[in-house]
Amino acid sequence: MFGALYASEGSSSGDLIQVAAEFSPRCEITGPRDVTVDLSGLARLFGSARAIAVELQRTAAARDLRIRVAIAGTATAARLLAYGAHGEITVVEPGGDAGALAPLPLELLATLAAPDQLAAFKKWGLQTLGEIAELPADAVAARLGQAGVNCQRLARGEDPRPLLPAVPEERFEQALDLEWPIEGLEPLSFVLGRLIEPLAAHLDRRGRGAAVLHVRLQLVTRAVHERALQLPAPIKDARTLRTLALLDLESHPPAAAIDRVIVAVDPTPARVLQFSLLTRPLPSPEQISTLMARLSALMGEGRCGSPVEVDSWQPGAFAMKPFVPERAETGPPRHRGTEIIKGKPDCGLGVSVPRCPVSVALRRFRIPIPVRVRMEQGRPIRIVIDRRGFGGGGVTRCAGPWRTAGHWWSDGIWDRDEWDVTLGDGATYRVFRDRGSAAWFLEGVVD
């Protein structure tokens, strides 16, 4: 059972949706001045369908709204009856939708169907919805296609789709005025916990998660200290949200005492996790977010994440991006360093043959080690390394120099000469000389 509310001139669907929401949570705005309501189950509360219609009109009148109410078995029939009925209340008994719609004029379909289809029906001399409903469906489809069939179904009162309830705009926000100003994170943690717990419960009831966490602190100096945390995944765990807020405020503390706290979130649909029996489970986004927040508070903002390559010739240049673990691919295990070679008689069909590529790796030191280099005829002949664990000595073989320079237009300028040297103990190192300071450094070990 569905009801349609049609308002008079000067009213809007926004006013009607408030009236309809008092009776059922399943309300859809179907036009600028009409709303469709799912009234299933309300007969136990109000009695007959006419009693429901009377109560709807009484509630609208209390809000200074003048409406027409139509109740039928389908939402389409209720809407058409609300548009074309002359009385303020129209109630159709179960099974009587087609008979109630039959005498209504053809022009009422203009609010539900395309006008060009109605023009075709008018050329055939049809004037009422009942005449359209009695046409053979096959003949209508042959002449007007699927659009004509859809118009005929509307004339019969059939719903083209289920009711789409309007989602009310909700504010996920909590605020608290403090009796006495507070200072420090310890008392603030209790206030944040008191605000975030009902906020997380509200998110859980709505099936949402927090995409952005906003913390606004009104200070005694009338200034506002505001922080916004971009979360890597939708989170609705109260403990995790409170921890992230405290860690961020630890790195960015307010400048004065706090007398009002406001916590708000930008909601997003909650994530759905599908675990696999074939792969190792990854840490939850809550655990990763908390860990990254703790590391950022310890090391500094922007100094924790995943390194990515940058388009630069500068040795060791990289950038940081937020850390997001990658899920392992499902499938049979593959062994690195081997490949299947088929069709070779000397190794057999389908035999795994190890690859033996020749590769050289440079174990680079993130902070180059200062060294002392003795030069003769423009080539290094002896290297002294003061760091424990590294042996120095005479140079038996060397290659270089390779000069690199760049970023002379910015503060990240570099200009250096690189050498690969092999010492008497057989170890191979890469050293370079900074041309600006004439200092030598050990950059890495060649394996």
pLDDT in tens, 76-94: 888 888 888 777 888 888 8
Query: What pTM does this model have?
Result: 0.49
| CA nearest neighbour of 59 among 14, 15, 25 | 15
Q: Rounded to whole angstroms, how far apart are CA atoms 129 and 104?
A: 6
Residue type, 306: S
Residue type, 47: G
Going from the C-alpha of 20 to that of each of 4, 147, 190, the distances in angstroms are 9, 31, 40
Judged against a pLDDT cut of 50, whether residue 341 lies above it is answered with no
Residues 194-231 as b/e (b if ≥16 CB within 10 A, e otherwise) read: ebbeebbebbeeeebbbbebbbbbbbeeeeebeeebeb
Low-confidence winner among 72-76, 138-142, 168-172, 205-209 (lowest mean pLDDT): 168-172
| Tokens representing residue 281 in the block | 């489970």
pLDDT at 353: 47
Q: Which residue has the higher pLDDT, 339 or 313?
A: 313
When pLDDT is averaged across residues 59-78 and rounded to a whole number, the result is 87
Q: What residues form DSSP beta bridges with 167?
A: none
- List the structure tokens of 20: 């309809």
Minimal CA–CA distance to 65: which of 33, 111, 108, 90?
33
Mean pLDDT of the chain: 82
- Please list, residue by residue across 17-36, b when 16 or more beta carbons sit within 10 angstroms of its beta carbon and e when fewer do: bebbbebbebbbbbbebbbb
- Work out whether strand 338-341 and strand 34-38 pair parallel, antiparallel, or are unpaired: unpaired
- Each residue's pLDDT tens digit, 247-289: 888 888 898 999 999 999 998 887 766 667 777 766 777 677 7
Q: Which has the higher per-residue pLDDT, 164 or 198? A: 198
pLDDT at residue 336 in the model: 43
Confidence at residue 169, expressed as pLDDT on a 0 to 100 scale = 73
Task: Say what the pLDDT of residue 326 is.
Answer: 66
- pLDDT tens column, 118-165: 788 888 888 888 888 898 989 888 888 888 888 888 888 888 888 888
Q: Is the pLDDT of residue 194 over 50?
A: yes
Q: Distance (Å, rounded) from C-alpha 377 to C-alpha 8?
A: 100
Evaluate if residue 351 carries a pLDDT over 70. no
Q: How long is the chain?
A: 447
| Domains, the chain, with CATH or none | 2-155 (3.30.70.270), 173-269 (3.30.1490.100), 362-446 (no CATH)
